[in-house]
Amino acid sequence: MKEEIKKIFRGDVEDSEETLKKYSRDASIFEIRPKLVLFPKDSEDVKNLVKWVAVNKSKYPELSITARCAGTDMSGGAIGESLVLDFTRYMNKLVGGPLPLENKSKWEITVQPGMFYRDFEKITLAKGLILPCYTASKSLNAIGGMYGNNSAGERTLKYGKMEDYVLEAKVIFADGNEYIVKPLSKNELDKKLKENSFDSGVYWGVSNLINEHQDEIRLAKPNVHKNSAGYYIWNVEDRGPKTKNGAERYVFDLNKLLVGSQGTLGIATEVTLKLLPNNKYSKLVAIFMNDLAPLGRLVDEILTENPETLETYDDKTIKLAVKFFPDFLKNKGLIGMFKFMWSFLPEFFMLVPGFFGGGFPKLVVLAEFAGENEEIVNKKCLNLVEKIKGFKLKVHTTRSESESEKYWDIRRESFALLRKHVRGKHTAPFIDDIIVQPKFLPKFLPELNSILSKYDLIFTLAGHAGDGNFHIIPLMDFKRPDAAKIIMELSDKVYDLVIRYHGSITAEHNDGIIRTPYLEKMYGKEIAVIFSQIKKIFDPKNIFNPGKKVPTENMGGTKKYIAEHIAIEHNAPHHS
């Protein structure tokens, strides 16, 4: 197979032990060994490979392609049993931009999928611009993975997810041709439907499916601020309010479905994104809670002040940060290091009995405000502090950038710290991304806690309080014979609870191997069937990342597959 592929593929084709081992892991709990890892030079390579796989699928039935960027996927979305296609080695370039869009308040940029976000951000920030759906993994991940997962982050509360920033993409469909996917007007869609091409068939299939199942689809939409579970069929057809001249607004955008589909419907080779001006000043109001009961009301109150972000982390996260404090000092420079150490003093004092009731607060809530100048930002912070006085909580407004940085470092780095440091036990992201409406939190969180407390597990809780999205990361010893049983049992119990509160089992981290078996539980049989029809329309031979989003018999998507593929030796994989 390797020699056959080398004839049609100009990039690197590797199967050394070291490479296969590295690519058997992403940031999930799984280990799945690929047959070959390929590094495409350009989109011709990707086209040729997809064509070759489609032709040879009957000869090698297990053939498939898993697109991969930085491999930080926490759901097992970036690993597969056959060919893994890594974009970060060569297809990581800037294609064009940033260029201003009509009124200069927005900009656009076109990049290849393998560009790391950290490199991308250097280009945008140099122009005072930002892609505001960046993730907590922004120092590790790449643009193609954000496209694949419909990623989101701390600013999603105000600015939305990746799907809101994809203007256009070049995508290779299952016939091995590259298509430009962008929003189509009614006339453009009608024209597309008349063409005699593979993508025309896809447009036909999807628009028919939406029309035939309008009611089921509408009723199945989870009522939460963000959702990465299943195929996101809801926003493909946008029949918005009438335009100024009374015409019907109609937009049909397949990117709404492709973004977040984990490379199961097609492979993106170029992405054009919308950028926004980055706010010049920002400040944090940190609120310390010892009792979680008022959290829902507090979140509601803070949201009325329209913060940029509303984040949270728990006492175990702070403990971890204090314990592994030297990790935070890396890359800060000498002066930065001292400033940072100084800002960390209150956390050290919390170790001393008598300060903050002799320990860490149960939860820290961070509300960030931003604006054009310091005065505006200070005013917003003061307003909030005044507004939440009635809660009688300890509140602190940050005074310097390094102090804000401390809170952000703790919030963003906790998962990475856990993965690196705790011996014998390993981070187990399987109920890592649940979301319910914030108004349910006062009831939901105690119920969640009561489920978790029945298990002898250490876990950290951090997340996006403003959206009601929490990341629960237990630590587990995967050598325990009952590890798989606990994972399955807890997933069932926690997802039942989430569904009872009309939430979603994944707000941003996506389904992959870990959640695909639970999609039917969340959406019901009818929608699960619609998902498999979507997969068939795009990928009739099941060559793109099988077993994710739609269950297969032997290539993933079942609880049995989860149990059989949990990595026993959990050395945190190296990310580029």
Regarding 267 and contact with ligand FAD (CB under 6 A), the answer is yes
Scanning 97-105, 144-152, 279-287, 388-396 for contacts with ligand FAD by CB under 6 A, the matching segment is 144-152
Closer by beta carbon to ligand FAD, 68 or else 192:
68
Regarding 73 and contact with ligand FAD (CB under 6 A), the answer is yes
| Dist CA 41 CA 38 (whole Å) | 10
**DSSP, res 165:** T
Question: Considering CB under 6 A, how many residues would be counted as binding ligand FAD?
Answer: 38
Closer by beta carbon to ligand FAD, 217 or else 517:
517
Regarding 77 and contact with ligand FAD (CB under 6 A), the answer is yes
Write down the least CB distance from residue 415 to ligand FAD, Å.
Answer: 4
Regarding 491 and contact with ligand FAD (CB under 6 A), the answer is no
**Burial tier of 295 (Cβ tally within 10 Å: 0-12, 13-18, 19+):** buried
Regarding 262 and contact with ligand FAD (CB under 6 A), the answer is yes
Contact (CB, 8 A) for 162 and 259: yes
Query: Which residues 6+ apart lie within 8 Å of 58 measured at CB?
Result: none
Closer by beta carbon to ligand FAD, 155 or else 380:
155
Write down the least CB distance from residue 38 to ligand FAD, Å.
Answer: 13
Q: How far are the Cα atoms of 151, 444, 486, 490, 496 from residue 451, in angstroms, in the given order?
A: 28, 11, 12, 8, 11
Contact (CB, 8 A) for 513 and 548: yes
Contact (CB, 8 A) for 176 and 500: no
Write down the least CB distance from residue 160 to ligand FAD, Å.
Answer: 12
Write down the least CB distance from residue 71 to ligand FAD, Å.
Answer: 5
Write down the least CB distance from residue 153 to ligand FAD, Å.
Answer: 4
CA dihedral for 377, 333, 138, 41, sign (positive or negative): positive
Scanning 149-157, 310-318, 351-359, 559-567 for contacts with ligand FAD by CB under 6 A, the matching segment is 149-157
Regarding 141 and contact with ligand FAD (CB under 6 A), the answer is yes
Q: Which residue from 97, 144, 176, 222 is in contact with ligand FAD, where contact means CB under 6 A?
A: 144
Regarding 296 and contact with ligand FAD (CB under 6 A), the answer is no
The 3-class secondary structure across 101-117, one letter per residue, is CCCCCCEEEEECCCCEH
Contact pattern from residue 28 through residue 67 relative to ligand FAD, giving x for each residue in contact according to CB under 6 A and a dash for the rest:
--------------------------------------xx
Write down the least CB distance from residue 265 to ligand FAD, Å.
Answer: 8
Scanning 70-78, 247-255, 276-284, 552-560 for contacts with ligand FAD by CB under 6 A, the matching segment is 70-78
> Token digits for 544?
């793109």
Q: Which residue from 268, 381, 436, 494 is in contact with ligand FAD, where contact means CB under 6 A?
A: 268
Q: Which residue from 47, 68, 515, 565 is in contact with ligand FAD, where contact means CB under 6 A?
A: 68
**Interaction residues for ligand FAD, span 500-559 (CB under 6 A):** 508-509, 545
Write down the least CB distance from residue 204 to ligand FAD, Å.
Answer: 22
Query: Which residues 6+ apart lie within 8 Å of 178 measured at CB?
Result: 43, 46, 47, 170, 171, 172, 269
| Dist CA 26 CA 67 (whole Å) | 12
| Dist CA 263 CA 268 (whole Å) | 8
Regarding 159 and contact with ligand FAD (CB under 6 A), the answer is no
Contact (CB, 8 A) for 111 and 121: no
Contact pattern from residue 96 through residue 135 relative to ligand FAD, giving x for each residue in contact according to CB under 6 A and a dash for the rest:
-----------------x---------------------x
Phi-psi map region of 283: left, alpha, beta (phi>0 left; psi -120 to 50 alpha): beta
Query: Which residues 6+ apart lie within 8 Å of 365 measured at CB?
Result: 286, 287, 288, 289, 295, 298, 299, 302, 310, 311, 312, 465
Element (H, E) at 283: strand 281-289
Regarding 74 and contact with ligand FAD (CB under 6 A), the answer is yes
Q: Which residue from 82, 92, 124, 151 is in contact with ligand FAD, where contact means CB under 6 A?
A: 151
Distance, CA of 87 to chain centre: 18
Binding site for ligand FAD (CB under 6 A): 26-27, 66-74, 77-78, 87, 113, 135-137, 141-142, 144-149, 151-153, 262-263, 267-268, 415-416, 508-509, 545
